[in-house]
Amino acid sequence: MPLIQSRRRSSRRLSRSTNDRNSNTIVLGGFATVLLSLFIVFVGFMLAQLCIVILQPECIHKGISSASNSSDISARQSLIITPSQPKIVSEVQSTSTRSPDSAASKSGIFLGARSNVAASQTQPPTIPASTLPEFPTTAKFPPQCSSEQLEALSQQLPAEGCLQWAEKAWNFDKCSFSSKTTCGNANPHWFYDFVHQLPKEETFRGIVVGCNKGYEAVELLRIASPPSDSLYDLEKWKEEFSKVEGVSKVLGEVVIDLSIECPADGKAGSNTGASGKKVHVYCIDGMPKTVDQLEKTKKALGYGSELDITRSVIGEQLNENGVPVRIADPIGAMKVGHKHWEKKCKQEPETCTIVPATSIDKFVETKPDLKATNTDVESGLNTGPPIHIMSITAEGSDYPILKGAAQNLGRIQYIDFGYHWNFRWGHYNLKDLIFRLKKKGFVCYFTGSSGEEMWRITDCWQDHYEKKYKASIGCVNANIPAAEPLLDKMEDMFLKTLERK
C-alpha cells in the first residue's frame, strides 16, 4: 500500500508539471499572436498613409470618382457642349452683377472649355450625368416642328436633288437647301433690325472671322452707328481698298482680288437710336497682305479703334508655333483657307510665311473691351459683357472655330456661319453641331438668300440636310433674355415662310 500511494503522489506531481508547462505555452502563444496582430495593423496603417500621400490618383481618385469620371471626361473633351448643370449648393453665388442683356447661359462648357475651379472646390462631387437636363432649362426654345410643319419643310426643301447629286455637291443649285441659302448671311436684315432696338447706352460688339476685304465689318459699323456718322461709307471703303501702290505687276499676275460672291445690298439703315453708343468691330484675317491692305485703308479713311484689325488664323485652339499661310495669293483672295494653305505650303514652302494662330476664347482675352467681366458660377462660362454677333467666313473651318469659342458662346447673341461640301467640313457632322449648339441655348436656321425666307433646323431636322452642300446658317441664343426679340423675329420669318406655297 505505501508503494501504491507513493506512485500516485508521483503521478499527481508529473501531471501538475505538465499542466504548468502547457499553461505557459498558451500564455506565450497568445502574447505572440497579439504582437503579430498589432504589427499587421501597423503595417496596414502605414501602407494606407503611403497610398493617400503618394499614390492618391490610383488609390483614392479611382475609387471615389469612378462613378462620375466618364461624365467629367466628356465635359473636358466635348466640342461645344456638355449638359446644363443644376445648382448644387444654393449658398454659392456669383460675386459679379449681371445686366439683363448679359444673362448667363445655363449650359455647360462647349468644346474643350475650362471648368470653374473655384466653384468646383466649394461644391459636392458632380451628380451623375443622367440626372442633368440635356438642354438649358432657362432657354426659350420654340416648340418642336409639328408633323404639318415637317411636311411643309419637305415640300419647300425637298430631298431628291440633294440625294441625287450628293457625290457632286459642287452643283449646289441641284440641292434645295443649298440653292436657296448660299448667300443667306450677306444681308441679315433680321439682325440689323435687332441692332436698332439695342439700348442707347449699350456698347455694340461684333467679331468677324475671315474679314477678307472688310466689307462686312464696315457695314456693321454703319448699321450700329447713328446716321449722322457718315464715316462708315461702304462705297468709299471699296474705292480706297482697291488702291494698290508700290506693287510691280507681272504680266498676268492678279495683285488684288476684288470679287465678292454675295455682296451686301446696303439697304439697311443706320441706327437712329444709337446716339452716344460705342461700337467695336473686331476684324480677324490670316492673310498678311490682306491685313496690310485693310490697315492701309483704315488709316486713309480716318477710322479709329472702333475697327480693330488682327492678323491671325482662328481655329480650335492656340498654336504657339503659328501656321503656314501662303503669301503668294492675291490681296483679298477668295476661297482660300486652312486646307488650301496646307496643300500649297507643302508643295511650295518658299511662297508661305508663318502666321499666329489662336482660338476665339484666347483672342478675347487679349482685347480689353471683349475680355470677360462676368462668369457664371454653375457653368464656368463667360457671361459678360455681351457680344452681339460673331460672323464666320472661313472657307470650311466653321466647326473648329465654334469649338474654339466654347467659353464665350454663352454671351454671344447671334452667330452665322457656312456649311460646305469641301474643306474641313468633310470631317464634321451638321446634325451633331446643331445638337451641340442647342445644348448651348442656340436655335439655328437656314437663312434664305432673298433675305425674306428662313427654315428652322433645330428641332425640325430633315435627314437630307446631312448631305454636305454649301449653305448659310444663322443661330440666335435663346438662353439670353436680351436676344429674345431677335429669336421672335427669326421664328416669325420661319412660320411665314412655311405658309408660302
CB 411 within 8 A of CB 386: yes
CA distance 400 to 418: 12
pTM of the model: 0.74
**Nearest of 419, 389, 428 to residue 405 by alpha carbon:** 389
**Nearest of 161, 181, 159 to residue 169 by alpha carbon:** 161
CB atoms within 10 A of CB 180: 21
The vertex-183 CA angle with 398 and 416, nearest 5°, equals: 35
Specify burial of residue 435 (Cβ count, 10 A radius: 0-12, 13-18, 19+). middle
DSSP 380-438: --EEES-B-EEEE-STT-HHHHHHTTGGGGGGB-EEEEEE-SSGGGGG--HHHHHHHHH
Q: Give the DSSP letter of residue 412.
A: B
CA distance 209 to 215: 12
pLDDT tens string for the chain (501 positions)?
A: 444 444 444 444 544 444 444 444 444 455 555 566 666 656 566 655 544 444 444 333 333 333 333 333 333 334 444 333 333 222 223 333 333 333 333 333 344 333 333 333 344 444 454 556 788 889 999 999 999 999 999 999 999 999 998 888 888 899 999 999 999 999 999 999 999 999 888 999 999 999 999 999 999 999 999 988 889 999 999 999 999 875 545 445 679 999 888 988 888 899 888 877 799 999 999 999 999 999 999 999 999 999 999 999 999 999 999 999 999 889 999 878 777 888 888 899 998 999 999 999 999 999 999 998 888 777 677 778 999 999 999 877 899 999 999 999 999 999 999 998 776 677 788 999 999 999 999 999 999 999 999 999 999 999 999 999 999 999 999 999 999 999 999 999 999 999 997
Cis peptide before 385 (omega within 30 of 0): yes
* Cα atoms found within 13 Å of the Cα of residue 368, Cβ hemisphere only: 2
Q: Give the DSSP letter of residue 344.
A: H
CA distance 68 to 126: 7
CA distance 208 to 291: 13
Q: Which three cell numbers stand for residue 451?
A: 433675305
